[in-house]
Amino acid sequence: MAMEEFQAAVFQGKLTDAVSVVLAKPLQYFNSTTLNIAVVGEPGSGKSSFVNSLLGLRAGEPGAAETGIQTTTTKAKDYPHPRLQQVILWDLPGKEDSPLGARVEQEDLNRYDFFFIIAYQRFRTVHADLAQEIQAMGKRFYFVRAKTDLDLEASRRRQPSGCDEEKVLHRIREDCITSLQNENVSNPQVFLVSNWDPQCFDFPLLREKLQNDLPWLKRQAFMFHLPSLSAPVLESKKAALKRKIRLSVFCSGLFALLPLPGFSFVVAMFVFMKFRSRCYRDFGLDDLSLEALARHVGKPVAILQAVMTSRALTPVILGRLPDLVGAVLMIVECFWWNQYPIRGSLASGGISVFASHYMLQRCISTVAKDTQNVLSKALEVKEKNLV
């Protein structure tokens, strides 16, 4: 029911009401959002065992990921979490010297909302590059150093009587952090885990942090999925407005027939500005509506206006440059050929019709996109540090 209320408000151009519906029932919206968490790492890094530990399952149990020396993940496999509602872990295939397999590299990583970047031994350039790619998408991740128990056991064998576990763990952590910082990853947070004993090292802390971050992560996932909720409504509005541009196009073409060089440009700009104002009112992006929305979400109106690309006039002016062809032809006919500018008038009228039709359709599409951007910015919350 709430979803229909949100879409109806967007269709009516009442963005404040649409945002109010979401903010009034945030848990209903965000908790019902599926959170897709990708687990990425090279073959042998312990990805699948890590997935099982997060799920609270042992290898071989129903719903557990396949593990073993001979087992290699070849395609993305989903594992719904048995206790965390609407949380799905994805075990992604890796390849030698890369956390992602060739098949995954061709996929759109945007389908995943959050990432565990798994490494055994050192984090390298490929891990840092992946982290930066994830950040560029506006998404977050945890660095996980797997198989810490094996390093600790190796230290015990080398120093049976003098092994200081705390120093060993500190050295492993610092080595991971230094490796990532050398690859230009700022303030990396690394969790040291043992997939065979989820109660050791940082595994309890990791699970607690994931649990605490879930509300924020689900809200972010909802924000990324918001276009799919409002897109059908905005497409319907676009189609309705595009059926109403004929009169504006006709007026531009009619006035362009007047034998006044440059007059078609002036009229076309006037018609465009009036039509854009109408689009703003229909979509809820006029100044009064934006001010009301800004007050409602407690943000400066300039923040909302900053994400609107349709406010720029330079592309509009450049789109009307073909009008100069008719104007020049009129001038040539009048002052060079000493004739009544019939050809120039006809050319000006024809050019104005085609240019106006294109510019007005583009205006509708741009304003619809701006509506989506404004909604996302209005619902945006302060970013939480998850790295």
* Residues 159, 220: Cα–Cα separation, whole Å: 47
Mean pLDDT taken over the chain: 76
**87-91/140-145 β-pairing:** unpaired
Residues in the chain, overall count: 387
Contact partners, residue 110, CB within 8 Å, separation at least 6: 137, 224
Amino acid at 121: Q
Q: Domains in the chain: how many in total? A: 2
**What's the Rg (C-alpha) of the chain?**
29
| pLDDT at residue 342, as a whole number | 57
Question: Does 355 score more than 80 pLDDT?
Answer: no
107 pLDDT above the threshold of 80: no
- Euclidean distance between CA atoms 198 and 193, whole angstroms: 7
Average pLDDT over residues 364-371: 91
Residue 226 maps to a domain: no
Residues 168 and 237 reside in one and the same domain: no
Same domain flag for 47 and 195: yes
**For residue 127, is it within any domain?**
yes
* Structure-block tokens of residue 96: 């030698």
Is 242 found in the same domain as 308? Answer: yes
Q: CB-hemisphere CA count at 13 Å for 190?
A: 28
Looking at the structure, tell me whether residues 42 and 169 fall in a common domain. Answer: yes
What percent of the chain is predicted at pLDDT more than 70?
A: 71
The kind and range of the H/E element at 251 are helix 246-256
Q: Residue 74's domain is classified under what CATH number?
A: 3.40.50.300
Rounded average pLDDT over 260-275: 72
25-29, 287-291, 306-310: the lowest-pLDDT one? 25-29
Beta-carbon neighbour count of residue 243 at 10 Å?
8
**151 and 91 share a domain?**
yes
Per DSSP, the three-state class of 116 is strand
The answer to whether 216 touches 384, Cβ cutoff 8 Å, is yes
Six token digits for residue 203: 């595994």
Same domain, 187 and 281: no
Q: Is 96 left (phi over 0), alpha (psi -120 to 50) or beta?
A: beta
- Note the pLDDT tens digit of each residue in 213-231: 887 787 777 777 777 778 8
Angle at 181 between CA 95 and CA 178, to 5 degrees: 90
Structural contact between residues 113 and 36, judged by C-beta atoms closer than 8 angstroms: yes
**Cβ-contact 311, 305 below 8 angstroms:** yes
Maximum separation of any 2 CA atoms in the chain, in Å: 108
pLDDT band at 199 (very low <50, low <70, confident <90, very high): confident
Task: Give the closest residue to 367 by CA, choosing from 13, 19, 6.
Answer: 13
Q: Is the pLDDT of residue 11 over 60?
A: yes
Q: 106 pLDDT band (50/70/90 cuts)?
A: very low
Q: Which of 270 and 145 is assigned the larger pLDDT?
A: 145
Instruction: Examine the domain organization and report whether 242 and 373 are in the same domain.
Output: yes
Q: Would you state the pLDDT for residue 318?
A: 59
Backbone angles phi, psi at 322, to 5 degrees: -60, -20
Residue 288 has pLDDT above 90, yes or no: yes
Does residue 213 sit within a domain?
A: no
Q: Which region among 130-139, 140-149, 316-325, 378-387 has the lowest average model confidence (pLDDT)? A: 316-325
| Of residues 218 and 326, more confidently modeled | 218
Closest CA to 132 of 117, 150, 148: 117
Do 242 and 341 lie in one domain? The reply is: yes
pLDDT band at 331 (very low <50, low <70, confident <90, very high): low
- Residue whose entry in the numeric block shows the structure tokens 């319907």: 236
344/65: higher pLDDT: 65
Statement to judge: residues 100 and 174 lie in one domain: yes
pLDDT for 336-352, tens place per residue?
A: 555 555 555 655 556 66
Number of helices followed by number of strands (H, E) in the chain: 16, 6
**Token output for 215:** 């509300």
pTM, to two decimals: 0.66
Q: How confident is the model at residue 98 (pLDDT cuts 50, 70, 90)?
A: low
Give a three-class secondary structure readout of 215-229.
HHHHHHHHHHHHHHH
Kindly tell me if the per-residue pLDDT of 373 is higher than 80.
Answer: yes
